[in-house]
């Protein structure tokens, strides 16, 4: 294990212990909500990071996978009467399937860079329009899961349990990413990101690797969607597939540092903190948070192209 690996592992473990203890010293409902939201964005950001950070395929439509996970789990429970656990598993499957399909279609025809970004956005918009007009998915009203607290229904009356659920999911996602960074698969993805033609010349099959990456990424985003669904018990087309969620997915890793294990978490923490500061200074008016996020993104792109993690690792 290299020095950097050891350092990162120590930071990850330290953060893990910190997050494990959060409910012990957080008294108010508000701050527990803050940490839950931050972890949720850390999960969503990591899903984007697998595809955008490691494989270098920036998606502008990650809401596509998030929304599919959320809608699938809701539809299974409400329309087919399946239990929450089976629905959640099917939700992850549905997200991965949509990811594999999107990837197969777009990568088959060689879309790269900005074109890939725009096509993912267009796919998300198609799904948004469909979900918004199809009776089956609740059309304009959205989907509502009836409240039935209990672990069997993946619903919890107290917010602390929900906090531990999202923490568990985040730990899982970050463990997968940690493995990815050190695996052969991860090395292939990085090679494709740096120079796709050279990677192909070395015998890597970029198409298969990229489809695998988008499938994994989509499954993780779907997981975030399922958590969202079980937490709020409500989703509509605008939340699920709107550009807002896609932007949320990419802001964290870009600000924290794309292509690093910790980047999305650091980014989520920075954005969560910034959002509290702006609310305190300028009030709760809508738009203030994202306005600050946009400015922060510009500043990061200008001075820290490797994100906040670039500070840690020095300039590369």
Partner 1 sequence: MGAVYALVALGLALIYGVLHIINFAHGSLLMMALYATYFLFRLGGIDPYVSLLIVPPLFFALGYAMQRWVIQPIGHGKDTNVLLVTLAIAIILDNLALYLWTSTTRTIDVPYATNYVDVGVTAVALPRLIAFGAAVLIGILFWLLMSRTDLGRAIRAVARERQGAKIVGISVEHIFAMSFGIGAACVAIAACLLLPTFYVTPQVGHAFVLIAFTTVVLGGMGSFIGALLGGLILGVVEAFSGLFLGESLGQIGIYLIFILVLLFRPTGLFGQRMA
Q: Least distance from C-beta 292 to partner 1, angstroms?
A: 9
Q: How far apart are the C-alpha atoms of 226 and 235, rounded to whole Å?
A: 10
The reply to whether 308 sits near partner 1 by the rule CB under 8 A is no
The reply to whether 115 sits near partner 1 by the rule CB under 8 A is yes
Taken in order 192, 195, 196, 198, the sign of the CA dihedral is negative
The reply to whether 298 sits near partner 1 by the rule CB under 8 A is yes
Of the residues 5, 133, 161, 195, which one makes contact with partner 1 according to CB under 8 A: 133
What is the per-residue DSSP string for 15-84? HHHHHHHHHHH--SHHHHHHHHHHHHHHHHHHHHIIIIIIS----S-THHHHHHHHHHHHHHHHTS---H
Q: String of b and e for 262-298 (b: at least 16 CB within 10 Å)?
A: bbbbbbbbbbbebbeebeeeeeeeeeebbebbeebbe
Number of residues that bind partner 1 (CB under 8 A): 40
Q: Which stretch binds partner 1 (CB under 8 A): 7-15, 157-165, 265-273, 286-294?
A: 286-294
Q: How far apart are the C-alpha atoms of 127 and 135, rounded to whole Å?
A: 14
Q: Least distance from C-beta 116 to partner 1, angstroms?
A: 9
Of the residues 89, 247, 304, 312, which one makes contact with partner 1 according to CB under 8 A: 247
Write each residue from 38 to 77 as x if it is in contact with partner 1 (CB under 8 A), else as -, in one continuous string: --------------------x-x-----------------
Q: Which stretch binds partner 1 (CB under 8 A): 93-101, 115-123, 165-173, 176-184?
A: 115-123
The reply to whether 305 sits near partner 1 by the rule CB under 8 A is yes
The reply to whether 270 sits near partner 1 by the rule CB under 8 A is no
Q: How far apart are the C-alpha atoms of 210 and 191, rounded to whole Å?
A: 11
Of the residues 10, 126, 168, 277, which one makes contact with partner 1 according to CB under 8 A: 126
Helix (H, G, I), strand (E, B) or coil at 109: coil
**Closer to partner 1 by Cβ: residue 5 or 133:** 133
Neighbours of 28 (CB within 10 A): 8
Q: Where are the beta strands (DSSP E) in the chain?
A: 143-144, 234-235
Closest CA to 222 of 118, 105, 90, 121: 90
List interacting residues with partner 1 (CB under 8 A).
58, 60, 105-106, 109, 111, 113-115, 117-119, 121-123, 125-126, 129-130, 132-133, 140, 243, 247, 254, 285-291, 293-295, 297-298, 301-302, 305
């Amino acid at each position: 294990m290299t020095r950097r690996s050891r350092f990162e592992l120590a930071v990850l473990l330290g953060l893990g212990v910190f997050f494990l203890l959060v409910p012990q010293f957080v008294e108010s409902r508000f701050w527990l909500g803050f940490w839950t939201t931050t972890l949720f964005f850390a999960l969503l950001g990591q899903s984007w990071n697998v595809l955008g950070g490691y494989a270098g395929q920036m998606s502008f439509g990650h809401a596509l996978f998030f929304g599919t996970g959320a809608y699938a789990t809701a539809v299974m429970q409400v329309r087919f009467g399946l239990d929450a656990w089976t629905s959640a598993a099917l939700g992850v499957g549905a997200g991965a399937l949509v990811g594999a399909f999107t990837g197969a279609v777009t990568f088959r025809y060689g879309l790269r860079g900005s074109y890939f970004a725009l096509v993912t956005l267009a796919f998300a918009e198609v799904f948004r329009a469909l979900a918004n007009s199809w009776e089956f998915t609740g059309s304009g009203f959205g989907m509502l899961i009836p409240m039935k607290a209990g672990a069997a229904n993946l619903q919890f009356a107290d917010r602390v349990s929900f906090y531990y659920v999202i923490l568990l999911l985040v730990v899982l996602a970050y463990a997968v990413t940690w493995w990815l960074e050190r695996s052969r698969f991860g090395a292939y993805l990085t090679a494709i990101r740096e120079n796709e033609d050279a990677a192909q010349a070395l015998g890597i099959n970029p198409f298969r690797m990229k489809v695998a990456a988008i499938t994994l990424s989509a499954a993780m985003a779907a997981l975030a969607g399922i958590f969202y669904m079980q937490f709020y018990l409500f989703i509509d087309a605008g939340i699920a597939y709107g550009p807002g969620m896609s932007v949320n997915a990419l802001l964290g890793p870009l600000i924290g540092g794309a292509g690093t294990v910790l980047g999305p978490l650091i980014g989520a923490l920075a954005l969560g903190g910034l959002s509290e500061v702006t609310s305190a200074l300028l009030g709760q008016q809508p738009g203030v948070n994202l306005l600050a996020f946009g400015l922060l993104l510009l500043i990061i792109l200008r001075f820290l192209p490797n994100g906040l993690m670039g500070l840690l690792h020095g300039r590369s």
